[in-house]
């Protein structure tokens, strides 16, 4: 390579920011397909409600390992043609798309859980570097715009993916019922379409964007630590030296994400059983309820898309931490109110609250981290930050079975309400603990100077 990056990032056009964000549309398409349908698939294959969280366990355990390693590797990667982050986008998308195609052909619980494990692992390979990609490509003045654009793509991808089973049934008249142990045809076709969008959207970003080469200082920085051992050492060092603001925001994440997981675990089947009074996938009422739940999940993604346009203005007026706290409280009300619903169409109101919270969850925590991370280790730190997404999922998967059986009496609606209460805790912590720092505090500045002197 004959030239090095000087470190001065030019402002990008809206079209360029869209190009670098389209891949997130495909990634979110895959995530929302599984979130809206995996609980239904598991119960169709014979799982009891208290077993569902355990069946999600392998994926976060893998993410706990994969995310920081991919962050470390992508920080150190450079190819003259493919760049730094884009090779990971491409590899993750190809493997995830294959898993999506095979998922609806699962014939046993172990097969569905294994494919979800593969899907989440490969999805993390594609997704984890996307957060660092924004920081790599955009000057500080456009970082918020970059994260908000990702939120827009999440809203579009999630709304279409969640609505697909309903669309397959009501537009294309593809059957939504099946025998026990067989995935309904409308769900199968939704996963096939999801595989296409996942791969094509990510490949669009890969081929329409470029990346800046390493700076001269990055090229010179070598410390002899290579391979997995070097990566583990770097990750442990970064974990031990987390900036103070990152610790504070991570605490908020730790209580936010279990609330989301409980919704994803149980919402679809709760609507099918508690509101539509269905029994199982052979029951037309159950199938109609599960499809309708997917439609309301699609609506919260539409709200996410729309609210992303106004969120930056609210954050500019109120500050990031107050904005995020209020959005979490609105989301809490949305989750808690699901169990009050008697008219199915009121679920749209509940999911609107969740959509407002989801917009903020996708952007505000990362914006609150702005300026707190060493520039040459953004990938590692973004991977570590995701610990506080997967760790709560692991705890929920391990511990919530007992809660469901002994405390909630397997009531899916109560589980969703617990998720809402966790949102309330996260909102209180955000307002009382997180700092409204447009610039890093002195402790973080000193830490950043030391971190940036260490090689990647």
Q: 169-178 long-range CB contacts below 8 Å, 24 or more apart?
A: 169/287, 169/291, 170/291, 176/287, 176/288, 176/290, 176/291, 177/281, 177/282, 177/283, 177/284, 177/287, 178/44, 178/281, 178/282
Task: Examine residue 227 and state whether it is found in any structural domain, yes or no.
Answer: no
Tokens of 220: 């010179």
Task: Examine residue 228 and state whether it is found in any structural domain, yes or no.
Answer: no
Task: Examine residue 98 and state whether it is found in any structural domain, yes or no.
Answer: yes
* Tally of domains in the chain: 1
Angle between helices 244-270 and 14-44 (to 10 degrees): 50
Confidence tier at 227 by pLDDT (50, 70, 90) = low
Q: What percent of the chain has pLDDT over 70?
A: 89
Q: Greater confidence, 26 or 139?
A: 26
pLDDT at 450: 53
Domain that holds residue 46: 14-212+234-453
Contact predicate 334/354, CB 8 Å: yes
pLDDT digits (tens, 9 = 90+) for 376-425: 777 788 878 888 888 887 887 787 878 888 888 888 899 999 999 999 99
Task: Examine residue 219 and state whether it is found in any structural domain, yes or no.
Answer: no
Calpha distance 327→306 (Å, rounded): 14
Cα 340 vs. chain centroid, distance in angstroms? 27
Q: CATH number of the domain that 39 lies in?
A: 1.20.1250.20
Between the two ends of the chain, the Cα-to-Cα distance in Å is: 18
Task: Examine residue 222 and state whether it is found in any structural domain, yes or no.
Answer: no
Looking at the predicted structure, is the pLDDT value of residue 375 above 50?
A: yes
pLDDT digits (tens, 9 = 90+) for 129-185: 887 888 788 887 787 778 788 888 888 998 899 889 999 999 999 998 888 888 999
Q: What percent of the chain has pLDDT over 90?
A: 39
């Amino acid at each position: 390579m004959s030239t090095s990056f000087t470190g001065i990032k030019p402002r990008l056009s809206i079209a360029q920011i869209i190009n670098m964000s389209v891949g997130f549309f495909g990634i979110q398409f895959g995530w929302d397909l599984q979130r809206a349908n995996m609980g239904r698939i598991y119960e169709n294959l014979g799982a009891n409600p208290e077993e569902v969280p355990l069946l999600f366990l392998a994926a976060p355990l893998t993410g706990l390992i994969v995310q920081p390693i991919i962050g470390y590797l992508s920080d150190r990667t450079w190819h003259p043609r493919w760049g730094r982050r884009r090779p990971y986008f491409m590899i993750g998308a190809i493997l995830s798309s294959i898993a999506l195609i095979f998922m609806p052909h699962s014939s046993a619980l172990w097969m569905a859980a294994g494919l979800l494990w593969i899907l989440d692992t490969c999805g993390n390979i594609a997704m984890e570097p996307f957060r660092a990609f924004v920081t790599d490509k955009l000057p500080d003045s456009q970082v918020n715009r970059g994260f908000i654009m990702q939120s827009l793509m999440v809203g579009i991808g999630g709304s279409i993916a969640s609505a697909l089973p309903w669309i397959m049934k009501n537009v294309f008249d593809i059957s939504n019922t099946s025998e026990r142990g067989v995935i309904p045809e409308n769900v199968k076709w939704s996963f096939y379409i999801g595989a296409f969008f996942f791969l094509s959207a990510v490949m669009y970003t890969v081929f329409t964007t470029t990346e800046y080469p390493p700076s001269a200082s990055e090229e010179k920085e070598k410390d002899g630590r290579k391979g997995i051992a070097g990566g583990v050492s770097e990750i442990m060092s970064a974990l031990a030296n987390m900036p103070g603001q990152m610790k504070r925001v991570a605490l908020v994440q730790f209580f936010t994400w279990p609330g989301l997981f409980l919704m994803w675990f149980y919402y679809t089947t709760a609507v099918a059983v508690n509101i539509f009074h269905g029994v199982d996938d052979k029951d037309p009422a159950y199938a109609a309820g599960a499809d309708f739940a997917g439609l309301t999940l699609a609506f919260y993604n539409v709200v996410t898309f729309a609210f992303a346009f106004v969120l930056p203005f609210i954050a500019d007026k109120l500050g990031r931490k107050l904005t995020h706290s209020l959005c979490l409280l609105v989301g809490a009300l949305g989750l808690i109110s699901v169990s009050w619903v008697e008219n199915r169409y009121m679920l749209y109101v509940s999911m609107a609250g969740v959509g407002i919270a989801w917009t903020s969850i996708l952007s505000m925590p990362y914006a609150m981290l702005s300026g707190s991370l060493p520039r040459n280790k953004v990938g590692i730190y973004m991977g570590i930050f995701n610990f506080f997404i997967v760790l709560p999922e692991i705890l929920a998967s391990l511990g919530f079975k007992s809660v469901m059986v002994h405390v909630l009496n397997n009531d899916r609606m109560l589980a969703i309400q617990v998720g809402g209460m966790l949102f309330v805790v996260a909102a209180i912590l955000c307002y009382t603990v997180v700092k409204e720092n447009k610039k890093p505090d002195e402790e973080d500045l000193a830490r950043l100077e030391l971190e940036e002197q260490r090689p990647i």
